[in-house]
Amino acid sequence: MRTQVAIIGAGPSGLLLGRLLELAGIDTVILESRAREYVLGRIRAGVLESGTVELLERAGVAQRLHEEALIHDTCGIAYAGGHLSVDLRGLTGKPVIVYGQTEVTKDLMDAREALSMYEAAGVQIHDFDGERPRVTWTGGSLECDFIAGCDGFHGVCRASVPAERIRLYEKTYPFGWLGVLSDTPPVSEELVYVSHERGFALCSQRSRTRSRYYLQCPLSEQVDEWPDERFWAELRRRLPEALATRLVTGPSIEKSIAPLRSFVAEPLSFGRLFLAGDAAHIVPPTGAKGLNLAASDVHYLSSALIDFYKGNEEGLKTYSSRALARVWKAERFSWWLTKLLHLFPEEGQFGRRMQLAELEYLAGSRAAQMALAENYVGLPY
């Protein structure tokens, strides 16, 4: 079998890249190790930058999004008696869009006409330094012009690069996020990020009838130690009173713990192999940047590949540096917001007072709110 671009991974990166290339008349094959239903069953992020939405529009998959997504002009931060509502649209002219990554994935899968192979076991990539890269898996092989490594943090593509040719930057955080999805109305119209003595909490949502909540928890914790009643009671304790009294609880329909990590691989291109999305970088979820960074990588990579087939190789040469310039800024923002809002017992009382002083400063300074807002709605491509 032969194709122009072999895409490894059918997460948002691989599917969006495949769709944009398909529309440009470029032949692609997607190879995914999991079943389609498994990929669609993963509950992930839910906040889109307007740049991501524009890309989904270009990909022709934004129709349901425009019908169902919620537009958020503000985002809230609650802390020690204070509540700040950041006027995203007033400060930047842009809102953020609430629409689940699961829905984005479904829309992209439904639109794809070219070949996708799910449950491809033992995928390996070969000869990406030469003119004729190859991909093999149990029972098959594929020749191609390029390989797009869209296979997430644990994928095979980044792992296939010799250690001396790649530099990895990593920071782990000593806690995770325990997330619950429930068919209950969101406690607040805006998303609320909560900095509390007992740990961070986040009130998010997927629709007017479906909520997504998170609690900072120790990494040692197990999901089965958190029956629904314990989760709701702990969330209520961390919420400001006005929200705690309004909280509607119900059975969880998904519950999971995710560790927090900052990670960047450099560079993102190795001959004819290009990394994009979680395969190349991870952000802690606090800034809602994971999916949006995957989209901006795909923006740069898809236009570079389209240019290549029109005879211009410049975009492929600069893909890594252009994508990474934006990635590092989002890494900084996600790290900063994580440090501002979470409980770090090892930082002691002084550390906590510094957080509160910074939150008070944020509440009283238009300049500080502007810095937050322009990053939260997404820096320009």
Q: Is residue 179 near ligand APR by the rule CB under 6 A?
A: no
123 or 291: CB nearest ligand PHB: 291
Whole-number Å distance between alpha carbons of 161 and 242: 52
Asked if 26 contacts 4 with a C-beta cutoff of 8 angstroms, the reply is yes
Our finding on whether 142 is near ligand APR (CB under 6 A) is no
Alpha helices in the chain (DSSP H): 12-23, 36-41, 50-58, 63-68, 88-92, 101-111, 228-238, 241-244, 290-309, 314-341, 348-364, 366-376
* Candidate list 72, 281, 299, 342, residue with the active-site label: 72
The answer to whether 376 is a known catalytic residue is yes
Distance between CA 1 and CA 141 in Å, rounded? 7
Q: Among 5, 6, 7, 45, which residue interacts with ligand APR (rule: CB under 6 A)? A: 45
Active site residue 193: yes
Q: Which single residue is written with the structure tokens 């997927």?
A: 206
Residue 286 contact, options ligand APR, ligand PHB, none, Cβ 5-8 Å cut-off depending on partner type:
ligand PHB
Q: What is the CA radius of gyration of the chain?
A: 21
> Binding ligand APR by CB under 6 A: which of 265, 291, 305, 337?
291
Which one is catalytic: 186, 285, 300, 319? 285
CB of 280 to ligand APR, least distance (A): 8
**DSSP secondary structure, 203-241, as one string:** EEESSSS-EEEEEEE-TT--GGG--HHHHHHHHHHHS-H
Cis peptide before 267 (omega within 30 of 0): yes
Q: In the complex, what is the shortest distance from the CB of residue 123 to ligand PHB, in angstroms, rounded to a whole number?
A: 28
CB of 95 to ligand APR, least distance (A): 19
Which member of 281, 289, 299, 342 is catalytic? Answer: 289
- Catalytic residue positions? 72, 193, 285, 289, 376
Residues that bind ligand APR (CB under 6 A): 8-14, 31-34, 39, 44-45, 101, 120, 123, 150-152, 154-156, 277-278, 290-291, 294
